[in-house]
Structure 1
Amino acid sequence: MNFASARIITDHVDRLVEFYEKITGVSAQRPAPVFAEFVLPSCTLAIAHAQTAQLFGPGSVEAGSNRTVILEFRVDDIEAEFRRLQPWVDDWVLDPTTMPWGNRSMLFRDPDGNLLNFFEPVSKEAKRRFSSRENLGR
Structure 2
Amino acid sequence: MRLDGFGLFVDDMGKMIRFYRDVLGFEIKEAEDTSNVYLVKDGTLFLLYGRKDFENMTSHKYEYVKGLNGHSEIALYVDTFDEVDAAFHDVVSKGATPVLEPTTEPWGQRTCYIADPEGNLIEIGSFGRPFESRA
TM (norm. structure 2) is 0.78
Q: Would the alpha carbon gap of residues 73 and 56 (structure 1) be closer, same or farther in structure 2, given more than 3 Å must change?
A: farther
Provide the rounded CA distance (Å) in 2 between the counterparts of 1:57 and 1:3: 26
Q: Would the alpha carbon gap of residues 75 and 128 (structure 1) be closer, same or farther in structure 2, given more than 3 Å must change?
A: closer
Q: Would the alpha carbon gap of residues 84 and 68 (structure 1) be closer, same or farther in structure 2, given more than 3 Å must change?
A: same
Contact 1:78 1:104 in 2 (8 A): yes
Query: Deviation at 1:18?
Result: 0.5
Query: Deviation at 1:101?
Result: 2.3
The corresponding residue for 2:78 is 75
Q: Would the alpha carbon gap of residues 114 and 25 (structure 1) be closer, same or farther in structure 2, given more than 3 Å must change?
A: same
Aligned residue pairs, count: 128
1:34-49 matches, cutoff 5 A: 34-49=35-50
Provide the rounded CA distance (Å) in 2 between the counterparts of 1:50 and 1:128: 36
Contact 1:50 1:63 in 2 (8 A): no
Contact 2:78 2:131 in 1 (8 A): no
Structure 2: any 5+ residue segments left out of the alignment?
Answer: none
Q: Would the alpha carbon gap of residues 93 and 25 (structure 1) be closer, same or farther in structure 2, given more than 3 Å must change?
A: same
Whether 1:58 aligns to 2:60 is yes
Structure 1: any 5+ residue segments left out of the alignment?
Answer: 134-138
Query: Deviation at 1:64?
Result: 4.3
Contact 2:24 2:91 in 1 (8 A): no
Query: Deviation at 1:26?
Result: 2.4
TM (norm. structure 1) is 0.76
Provide the rounded CA distance (Å) in 2 between the counterparts of 1:17 and 1:41: 18
Provide the rounded CA distance (Å) in 2 between the counterparts of 1:91 and 1:7: 20
* Greater mean alpha carbon deviation, residues 108-117 or residues 62-71: 62-71
Provide the rounded CA distance (Å) in 2 between the counterparts of 1:42 and 1:102: 26
Give the secondary-structure state (helix, strand or coil) at the position aligned to 1:30: coil
Aligned Cα RMSD in Å? Answer: 2.7
Q: Would the alpha carbon gap of residues 128 and 36 (structure 1) be closer, same or farther in structure 2, given more than 3 Å must change?
A: closer
